[in-house]
Amino acid sequence: MDEKKIPVIIDTDPGVDDALAIMIAAASEKIHLLGLTPVDGNVSAVHTHRNALDLVSFLGVDADVAEGSYDQLVCRFGRYATSTHGETGMGGVVIPQSDKQFHPLRAWDYIYEKAKEYPGELVIVAIGPLTNIARTLIMHPDIKPMIKQIVMMGGSTTRGNVSPYAEFNFYVDPPAAKMVFESGIPLVMAGLNVTLKTGISFDFISKLAQESGSRIGGMFNELVHGYSDVKINKEGDKASVVHDAIAVAYVIDPDKCETEEDRVEIQTERFLEGTWGQSKVVEGEPNCTVITDIDMDFYRDLYRRTVKYFGSLS
């Protein structure tokens, strides 16, 4: 492996924005994508696992897929974001079914083995609920000093999207998120407070796909247009908020992100109205780097590079 590349596992619940984030990671010259560990989240785990296998094959990415969690840490959640991602998670895009097989190890054992292989170097990009990561900590508590960093898309220091305060990924499995935030592992959080600032215009994506002329560039365009998390961006354009890509962007170049150090606690009390799964900033010693903004020129350039990279392979 090129020593300059960062060994990365993406823990994911694909999901349209997950698929786009995976594409950006796979195209980056700074990331060595070791594998994906799917989890129940945006859609049923049956679909997220299938999507992970199919994406890796379709993209031609040399990465493992290690079977992850089909339920949550404490209680079954079973509420999916199909209105945003479509019934299967890919927003209506049909990816050819792969004959790729799961890695022999389950997600938590796979993460542990890779942490031992890359001690102090491994970065986990967690862009779904944190169930797999929590199970890894339960099964392998000695892993903590081996992980360089967990960079996650989840939470919010402002408002939520499934309740007044809670963001979807943390809301799905708050006990898992709480365990991760109490682990002592260096954490970076890309929450709604930053992702909602980062809409990528439909016109920009369509132009990139058209210039590429490749099958994967076309899929990139179809994914964005089939994804219902649409906002009007700062320029007044209809835009897609690709939440999960911000976590990958941070790994590629953290200097392009503005951050602050906070102590974040995850609320797990159901009886507190609206706070189940809330990521609350409290007084105390910081346990998390919170991304507050990103250089949008840099971020848009990641999309250009990604489409160009996959276009060159077609």
Beta strand 230-232 with 200-201: parallel, antiparallel or unpaired?
unpaired
Tokens describing residue 30: 């700074």
Q: What is residue 299's three-state secondary structure?
A: helix
Q: Which residues contact 194 (CB under 8 A, 6 or more apart)?
A: 246, 257, 291, 292, 293, 294
| H/E stretch holding 280 | strand 279-282
Start-end of H helices in the chain: 16-27, 45-59, 82-85, 107-117, 131-139, 168-172, 174-181, 192-195, 202-212, 215-225, 245-252, 296-313
Instruction: Indicate the angle between helix axes 296-313 and 16-27, nearest 10 degrees.
Output: 80
| Amino acid at residue number 285 | E
| Amino acid at residue number 100 | K
Other Cβ atoms less than 10 A from the Cβ of 213: the count is: 11
Q: Would residue 262 show up in a list of annotated catalytic residues for this protein?
A: no
Catalytic residue among 13, 54, 64, 244: 13
| Amino acid at residue number 206 | S
* Distance (Å, whole) CA 93 – CA 81: 16
Cα dihedral sign, 123-241-302-304: positive
Structural Rg of the chain based on CA atoms: 18
* Distance (Å, whole) CA 292 – CA 90: 28
* Distance (Å, whole) CA 70 – CA 49: 9
Active site residues: 13
